[in-house]
Amino acid sequence: MADLNGKTILVTGASRGIGTATLARLLQEGANVVAHYNSGVGGIAALVEEYGENRLLPAQADLSDRQSLDGLWQTAVSWKAGLDGVVNNAAVIDSVTPEADDDEWRSRWDHVMAVNLTAVADLCRHAILHYKTRAGGAIVNIASRAAFRGDLPDSIHYAASKGGVVALTRSIAKGYAADNILAYIVAPGWVATDRVMPKLTAPGNERLLEEIPMGSAAPPGEVANIICFLLAGKARHATGCTFDINGASYFH
């Protein structure tokens, strides 16, 4: 599908869900991958066993801490003497509604923005500066359907953070295309991950699946396929574009 032999890619939030599916696909296509995680290696461990430490490097970092994030970048860029691609996949939801007290609302809002938007911006900045010393490179930022159609009351901050990711990515694509720096947005709807499926199958939440014309959440592997396709340079002139994966539940 996508020839990524010899390319080195950083994937954040790689221990589960879309991140682990992306790792597996990248490795199948010949890439070397720096796999970021925060609290546990999760699905990364089995892939290290299968592909070896020369192909896959686990790297821990708390993306809400800028010093930790900068350390992750240095680890990633030093491993194989450079990076060809970055996938900003890591995100938190940290649900809270406007009815919460001030301290809870503000602390959760700040945490979501720190991980979902500020960390993405910092890693994009690192990538831009790095790619300008090379022949360019690719950035794939994982946004969300929520960036375009909004989200539930307990996820207003999540939707806002993903809207910021969209604007950030389009600005990078526009500003740095001449430097051969390509930036893409992948915007999933409901994806069948271990974090999402309990919510979709909970009693009373039937309407969440009913709004999807295809009738089911997207497999994580379908999101991974799009990410790998873009990193392989198969659609260079689509830089700045959004790739929706939501079972026809929304078109922006």
Q: Which residues of 94-121 are buried (b: 16+ CB within 10 A; e: fewer)?
A: bebeeeeeeeebeebbeebbbbbbbbbe
Q: Six-digit token pair at 222?
A: 């379908």
Quick one: residue 161, left, alpha or beta (phi over 0 = left, psi -120 to 50 = alpha)? Answer: alpha
Distance (Å, whole) CA 50 – CA 38: 21
DSSP conformational letter for 177: G
3-class DSSP state for residue 24? helix
Report which of 61, 64, 71 is spatially closest to residue 41, judged by C-alpha positions. 61
Q: Are 85 and 137 in contact (CB under 8 A)?
A: yes
Q: Are 241 and 185 in contact (CB under 8 A)?
A: yes
Tokens 């600005």 appear where?
171
Among the listed residues 37, 51, 131, 158, the single catalytic one is 158
Contacts with 47 (C-beta within 8 Å, 6 or more apart), sequence order: 20, 23, 24, 27, 35, 56
176 is catalytic: no
H-type alpha helices, the chain: 17-28, 44-51, 66-79, 102-113, 119-131, 146-149, 156-176, 197-200, 206-210, 220-231
Distance (Å, whole) CA 53 – CA 1: 24
Residues annotated as part of the active site: 158
